[in-house]
Amino acid sequence: MTELKILGPAEMRNNQGQLEHSFLAGPKRLALLVYLLLHKPQGFHRRDSLLPLFWPEQDQKSARNSLSNMLYHIRKTLGTDVVENRGSEEISINPDLFWCDAVAFEKAINAQDYETAISLYRSDLLKGFHVQEAAVEFDQWLEQERKRFHNLALEKSRLLGEKAFDNRNYTEAVSWVKKASKLDPLSEKIHLLLIRFLYESGEPEAALKEYSAYSDLLNQEFGEEPGQELQSLYFFIKEREPSNPTVSSTEKLQQDPSSQASIAVMPFESIGFEKASSFTVAIHSDILTRLSQVSDLFVISRTSVQNYRSTSKLLPEIARELQVNWVLTGEVQEIGKQVKVSVRLVNAVQDRQVWAEIFQRELSAGAVFKIQSEITHNIIEALEMRLTSKEKKAIKHIPTEDLEAFRLHAHGKWNLDQRSEKAMRLAEGYFRSALARDPKYAQAWLGLADSLSLLHDYSYEKDGQKILPEAEKAAKEALHIDPGLAEAYASLGLLHTTRRDGNAAIYHLKKAVQIRPGYAEAHAWLCWIFLLTGNRPLGLEHAKKGVEWNPLSQEAVSNLSLALLTVREYETALSDAKRLWQLQPDFTTAPFEAGLALYHLGKYEEAIRLLKDLSVPWAGNGPLVTLMLSLHRVGKEAEAQNYIKIIKDDEFALGLLELIRGNKEQAWELFLQIQHWNYWEMLSIHHFYPDLLDIVREEERFTDILSVLDKNWGMKAGAESENGKEITGLARR
């Protein structure tokens, strides 16, 4: 669905996640849409009531024409059915046809789901928005709405804080009231709560600092001091603060020998510069990469932390979910010709800040990379870890001295992550532009290689001979510039996976995880290849590693569910499929894997309910054939027969149906006709449907099928790697 964010600066994205600049370019269009959406009482509005609000200076005919034009743009952007008519004079907006954060905010408030509501509130409604030539009444209405949403966010943040405090969850109470204090920085009532909660949570020093900051703000703004109640609380805390320093949270954590050094780097916030999103993401990603060079530090992958970009969850809760004991948060801001990066390292176990620093330097590539290197070093020092000479060199590495090349690479990386054809082609252009400025920029060569490989892998560019040779050349150029670049080996692994060159893919992906053991994506790709080629133990091993390093990645969790199915741990596989479904409700692989697990557990009716009308592009007829087999198992052969026309050209699906009817030889004839095995068929013939296929796998002639599979994927038992060592040994049973 199209997403409209208006709690803060306006932002609209289409169903592919791309910004809709054209609609927002006309402020009156947005104003009309928001008014129809939020004005109370909600429902239909007479056209005559809208004309004086938005076109007070026009005659009625001109104003009506302008209104019709605005409604046309709204329909064009959000769909023809979004504007509803009642007769010829009344109109309304159907909010169910697109998603709006303000509507979702109000629904959450009405449902008393205040945590969700607060997570949606970025800042004031349509912050900085103004419509010229609109009537004063519209400006007054908009200001009233801003105050209403603001007061709701403020009230519920305070309420959540008080509720948490009553439940003796002091850390959570502090977090909620801090949100409230940001919404109303001059409120003495809020600061009284915040300082009290900080003291009760065992942070008297932080409570005193908060009082001093608030006192300075009042003096600066009004020349006044805090009220008597707040002053009394301040002196009460000050008299009881111990003179001897307590043991720092860093020391406390490190006194526990069982504690593993593990960290999650939360997505950084962008403040005040053009295209800040991709620039900030690039800085965040680079810090993650540098930390990942430290072999003794467990670093959660970028994909998992991205899930917390707009969350209202507190840091201890996030840390528990990701199973880490440290969290880094930060902001990036451009000030004139300088860049400012603010970071905070938090002991997530105790929710205590142990280190914070602000880096402000000239806006140049060298300065940006130096900041990132210093941040990494400070984290390592705070954790009292030792670096090898190789790790020190990797952390200090400067990929490019050209700031514009860095920016172009950042935009390319951001677009590549979107995975749409348009975004991938934009990414390709950005990477080429970056290389035009700095031909020695290894990461830009790598971005170009991945763009070309993925364009082919996603079937946006079907002619592999046209682009894959250039992709390989680009990846090898990155490796030539930086021989220790794990991402370059992974890129070559992905390229060879696309080519179905299994041995080469495994060799390069193994090199990637050898250089960087926490390379979650490389583990996921290794898992996929091993499962496709029949190696269950290694498939499961890399699936578990992928989830360990990237616990919220849909790819990693999906691979783990598949790997568990291959080793016949069906209940656990079902549990992981359900978890995948929670992570990504619109990812159809999740119900498919759940349905597959249910089939193997003999729960055919439940499988049927999940698999009906389910489409999973990568799995071809997998969902349909599993549905048909389930229908056969419960005696609904006639219903299964209704789908036979769909699979009439699918030898593998037809072979399975022959097996369930007891016609083994007919099934063999069909299987032996297959010369090109697709993903789903390969997984199935190796691992699934043991009630049908085990009798096939036990026969000697099964080796004929295996030889075709190996040929399809370039797999040769005992094949040698580039350094002359054997890299595969297929374990199919």
Instruction: Give residue-wise pLDDT tens across range 223-264.
Output: 888 888 888 888 878 776 544 333 322 233 333 433 457 888
The percent of residues in the chain predicted with pLDDT above 90, rounded, is: 43
Other Cβ atoms less than 10 A from the Cβ of 259: the count is 13
Mean predicted confidence (pLDDT) in 618-628: 93
Q: Provide the pLDDT for residue 240.
A: 63
| Cβ within 8 Å of residue 269, ≥6 positions away | 280, 330, 331, 332
Confidence at 556, pLDDT banded by 50, 70, 90: confident
Quick one: tokens of 18? 């791309």
Q: Could you give the CA distance from residue 285 to residue 279 in angstroms, rounded to a whole number? A: 10
655 has a pLDDT exceeding 90: yes
Q: Provide the pLDDT for residue 403.
A: 82
- Phi first, then psi, for residue 485 (nearest 5°) are -80, 105
Q: Provide the pLDDT for residue 86.
A: 92
Q: Could you give the CA distance from residue 230 to residue 226 in angstroms, rounded to a whole number? A: 6
For the ranges 10-24, 509-523, 617-631, the lowest mean pLDDT is seen at 10-24
For 348-388, the pLDDT digits (tens) are 777 777 778 888 887 777 777 788 788 888 888 877 777 77
Q: Provide the pLDDT for residue 418.
A: 67
Q: Provide the pLDDT for residue 392.
A: 79
Q: Provide the pLDDT for residue 276.
A: 43
Question: Exposed (0-12), middle (13-18) or buried (19+): which is 49, by Cβ within 10 Å?
Answer: exposed
**Residue that has been written with the tokens 């069909």 in this structure:** 670
Q: Provide the pLDDT for residue 294.
A: 80
CA 414, 415, 420, 424: dihedral to nearest 10 degrees?
Answer: -130
For 106-163, the pLDDT digits (tens) are 999 999 999 899 989 989 999 888 888 889 999 999 999 999 999 999 999 999 988 8
62 has a pLDDT exceeding 90: yes
63 has a pLDDT exceeding 50: yes
Confidence at 728, pLDDT banded by 50, 70, 90: very low
Domains of the chain: 3-147 (no CATH), 252-398 (3.40.50.10070), 594-699 (no CATH)
719 has a pLDDT exceeding 60: no
For the ranges 316-330, 408-422, 695-709, the lowest mean pLDDT is seen at 408-422
Q: Which amino acid does the sequence have at 432?
A: R
Q: Provide the pLDDT for residue 423.
A: 85
**Residue that has been written with the tokens 């200076």 in this structure:** 57
Q: Could you give the CA distance from residue 687 to residue 242 in angstroms, rounded to a whole number? A: 64
| N-terminal to C-terminal alpha carbon distance within the chain | 45
For 207-223, the pLDDT digits (tens) are 898 999 999 888 888 88
CB 612 within 8 A of CB 642: no
Quick one: tokens of 140? 């007054």
For the ranges 299-303, 327-331, 566-570, 684-688, the lowest mean pLDDT is seen at 299-303
For 577-595, the pLDDT digits (tens) are 988 887 777 778 999 999 9
Q: Is the peptide bond before 41 cis (omega within 30 degrees of 0)?
A: yes
Q: Provide the pLDDT for residue 25.
A: 79
598 has a pLDDT exceeding 50: yes
Quick one: tokens of 44? 């239909």
Q: Could you give the CA distance from residue 309 to residue 350 in angstroms, rounded to a whole number? A: 22
Closest to 406 measured CA to CA, from 376, 444, 370, 379: 444
For 642-654, the pLDDT digits (tens) are 999 999 999 999 9
Q: Provide the pLDDT for residue 726.
A: 38
Q: Provide the pLDDT for residue 272.
A: 60
For the ranges 88-102, 327-341, 466-480, 664-678, the lowest mean pLDDT is seen at 327-341
545 has a pLDDT exceeding 70: yes
Confidence at 277, pLDDT banded by 50, 70, 90: low
Q: Provide the pLDDT for residue 244.
A: 39
Q: Mean pLDDT score of the chain, rounded to an integer?
A: 85
Mean predicted confidence (pLDDT) in 429-447: 94
Task: Give me the helices (H) in 550-588, please.
Answer: 554-566, 570-583
CB 323 within 8 A of CB 262: yes
Quick one: tokens of 471? 């992709």
The percent of residues in the chain predicted with pLDDT above 70, rounded, is: 93
Mean predicted confidence (pLDDT) in 700-715: 87
